[in-house]
Amino acid sequence: MAVLGIWGTVAYQFFSGINPKASQVVEAPSASTFKPQTQKPIDTFSITEVTRDPFLGTLKQKRVSTNKLRPKKRDTINQPHIVYKGLVKRQETNHQVFVVDIDNTQFLLKKGQTVKSVTLVKGDTEKISVRFNNTNMTIPIQ
């Protein structure tokens, strides 16, 4: 009985797929009118300077400095381009020699040594400190 029901369902699906029913076409009303939605005006705002603190209620006052400091005129000496390349050290001693590029010229410097007005103050494997025209600079390894 179950076999007959299954074969009957298969046959029905097969024959209904071969001879489909004609679908009904529904016509839409042709007299439709288009009504665009009205646009809401854009809410605008402006930012103004607040003269009163909203939390404390105190008034803000601009401080006007009567004593204007003039910047010091410095000598216009071009600072050399300094690049720290590395460290050379003997294993038996603690003497360190630093490889430093000054204006694209490579120098081997010890602590306290001066080349082209650049003095090596201190250094380690990551950075060196140099002094040029009484200004200290720290230069990382590259």
The answer to whether residues 141 and 126 touch, using CB atoms and an 8 Å cutoff, is yes
Express as a percent the part of the chain with pLDDT over 70.
Answer: 77
- 105 inside domain: yes
Q: In the chain, how many domains are there?
A: 1
- 63 inside domain: no
State how far Cα 25 lies from the chain centre: 60
- 45 inside domain: no
For range 25-51, the mean pLDDT? 75
Q: What is the pTM of this model?
A: 0.46
- 121 inside domain: yes
Using CB atoms within 10 Å of the CB of residue 97, give its burial: 0 to 12 exposed, 13 to 18 middle, 19+ buried. Answer: middle
For range 108-116, the mean pLDDT? 90
Residue 119 CA to residue 11 CA, distance in Å, equals: 101
The answer to whether residues 130 and 82 touch, using CB atoms and an 8 Å cutoff, is yes
The long-range contacts involving 85-92, CB below 8 angstroms and separated by at least 24 positions, are 85/141, 85/142, 86/141, 87/123, 87/124, 87/125
- 87 inside domain: yes
- 61 inside domain: no
Using CB atoms within 10 Å of the CB of residue 99, give its burial: 0 to 12 exposed, 13 to 18 middle, 19+ buried. Answer: middle
DSSP helix/strand/coil, 127: strand
Is the pLDDT assigned to residue 90 strictly greater than 70? yes
For range 22-31, the mean pLDDT? 67
pLDDT band of 119, cuts 50, 70, 90: very high
Residue 125 lies in domain: 82-140
Residue 75: what pLDDT?
55
- 2 inside domain: no
Strand partners, 119: 114, 131
Domain at 96, CATH number: 2.30.30.830
- 62 inside domain: no
